[in-house]
Amino acid sequence: VNCLKILGDKACKERPQDQDRLYSLARGAEEDEKELHRSFFKKWNISDVNDDGTTVKAMPNTLLYTSYMLRIVSTRPYAEGLSVLLPCFWVYMHVGKCMLEMRK
C-alpha cells in the first residue's frame, strides 16, 4: 500500500495520468486485501495477536522484501518503482484465478 501511495506521489510529477489509478489501487489493496486476510484468519482460526497480547510481527523475509520494494519506489526512477511491484500483481492474478477455480 505504501509503495503505491509513494508511486502515486511520483506520478504527479512524471505521469499525472497514472496518479489516480495508483491511489485507487492503494485504497483497494488497503481495504480489500485486509478483508480477504481477515476472512482467512477467521476460517482457519488464526490470530494476528500473540498470547501475550502483542501484535504478530512480520517474518524476516517479508520485512526484507517489503523494505526492498519501499527503497526502490522511494529512491529510484518512477519506471523502476512500477517494475518492482509487478510480481505482486502477478501473484494476485494467480491467486485470483485459483480462487475462482476453487469456487467451481
Q: What is the mean pLDDT of the chain?
A: 86
76-97 tens-digit pLDDT = 998 999 999 888 889 888 988 9
Confirm if 56 and 48 have CB atoms less than 8 A apart: yes
70 versus 41: the higher-pLDDT residue is 70
Distance between CA atoms of 75 and 13, rounded to whole angstroms? Answer: 15
How far is 80 from 83, CA to CA, in rounded Å? 5
Report the range out of 14-18, 29-33, 42-46 with the highest average pLDDT.
42-46
Q: Cα(23)–Cα(38) distance, rounded to whole angstroms?
A: 22
* DSSP-assigned letters across all residues of 13-69: HH-HHHHHHHHHHHHHIIIIIHHHHHHHHHHTT--SB-TTSPBPPPPHHHHHHHHHH
- pTM for the model: 0.72
